[in-house]
Amino acid sequence: MNPLPALQMLALLCATASVAASANAAISVRDDAGNTVTLARPAQRVISMAPHITELLFAAGAGERVVGAINYSDYPEAAKRLPLIGSDSQIDIERVLALRPDLLVVWQSGNTARQLEQLKALGVPVFYSEPKKLEQVATSLTRLGQLMGTEAAAQAAAQQYQQKIAALTARYAGKPVVRVFYQIWEKPIYTLNGEHIVSDALRVCGGQNVFASQKVAAPSVSSEEVLRVNPEAIVGGERHDAEAGIQIWRKYTALDAVKRGNLFMLDSELLVRATPRIADGIAVLCERLETARQRRPGATP
């Protein structure tokens, strides 16, 4: 009897057993709150509790496993067809239970403490997602990929994102600093502090958040405070109302940003949401800040 087929069969059986054992092995991942989340097997039914989480899950190759999401989960296009389980102010717990999730991915800053306690009481594993730095977008992808069993897709997405950020960082390294006021709302006036990922995005472009030292993540500031810090550029989200958003500053002609025409409107979702698309938002932001440099008195065209 030729022993070769028997040895090949044995090797095949061992390989199959190894793959099966790997598929059934427990998965442990540390979330952004420092908790270790352990699953007996890759999650098959996940609910997203924030728009940025929905984007991350799809980018990590796990879109088909997302069975529910919170409102404003509008990217990618397929996310618009997901069953909704409520808003950041009111989650429908009965709806959550009806969807039979085996993993909840929540946003600690966006979901209220009461909601988080209700969700944890369901006995379903909870993963906290709160990327505050650009590099954490990549690690969020890879960790979610581990939990969902889509490591290959997640790794590829993370690598592509990192390459984009690295290229932008290299391109704008050493550029003169531009002092920026980033406005997220005008009545009352709200901005973001240095802990928010938007400040990290500004740094890639050589921008400096004029309210980075604020202790609150999204502080309210007065028009007098903005006038006092006198930003060179003001950046805000695109609005349909011509008199809203950053246009409120046009009457303050003493502001450097107004004198030089540096009121820049961007797609705020590309910068505020901590997803791979932030790289596209940064590319546009860097172009705007380069325009601000070119508009400085005495600047060479």
Question: What confidence tens digit (pLDDT) does each residue in 65-89 have?
Answer: 999 999 999 999 999 999 999 987 7
Q: Measured between alpha carbons, how far is 86 from 102 in angstroms, rounded to an integer?
A: 18
Contact, 231 vs 208, CB < 8 A? no
Contact, 229 vs 210, CB < 8 A? yes
Q: Measured between alpha carbons, how far is 270 from 205 in angstroms, rounded to an integer?
A: 15
**What is the topology classification, in CATH, of domain 25-161?**
Rossmann fold (3.40.50)
Q: Measured between alpha carbons, how far is 190 from 181 in angstroms, rounded to an integer?
A: 10
* pLDDT of the residue at 224: 97
Q: Measured between alpha carbons, how far is 135 from 164 in angstroms, rounded to an integer?
A: 12
Give the closest residue to 237 by CA, choosing from 184, 195, 179.
Answer: 184
* pLDDT of the residue at 113: 77
Phi and psi at residue 266, to the nearest 5° = -130, 165
Q: Is there a shared CATH topology between the 25-161 domain and the 174-294 domain?
A: yes
Question: What confidence tens digit (pLDDT) does each residue in 235-257 have?
Answer: 998 765 555 789 999 999 999 99
Cis, bond preceding 219 (omega within 30 deg of 0):
no
Contact, 274 vs 190, CB < 8 A? no
Domain residue spans in the chain?
Answer: 25-161, 174-294
Look at residue 294 and give its three-state secondary structure.
helix
Q: Measured between alpha carbons, how far is 157 from 151 in angstroms, rounded to an integer?
A: 10
Q: Measured between alpha carbons, how far is 33 from 103 in angstroms, rounded to an integer?
A: 16
Query: What are the tokens at 233?
Result: 């550029």
CATH for 174-294 is 3.40.50.1980
Give the closest residue to 286 by CA, choosing from 137, 165, 183.
Answer: 165
Give the residues of the chain that fall short of pLDDT 70. 1-24, 239-243, 301
- Alpha helix (H) residue ranges in the chain: 3-24, 51-59, 93-98, 113-120, 134-148, 151-172, 197-204, 223-229, 256-259, 269-272, 278-294
Residue type, 8: Q
Task: Quote the pTM value.
Answer: 0.87
Kindly report the number of other CB atoms within 10 A of residue 99's CB atom: 14
Phi and psi at residue 229, to the nearest 5° = -80, -20
CA distances from 297 to 204, 235, 249, 251 (A): 24, 20, 21, 21
* pLDDT of the residue at 111: 72
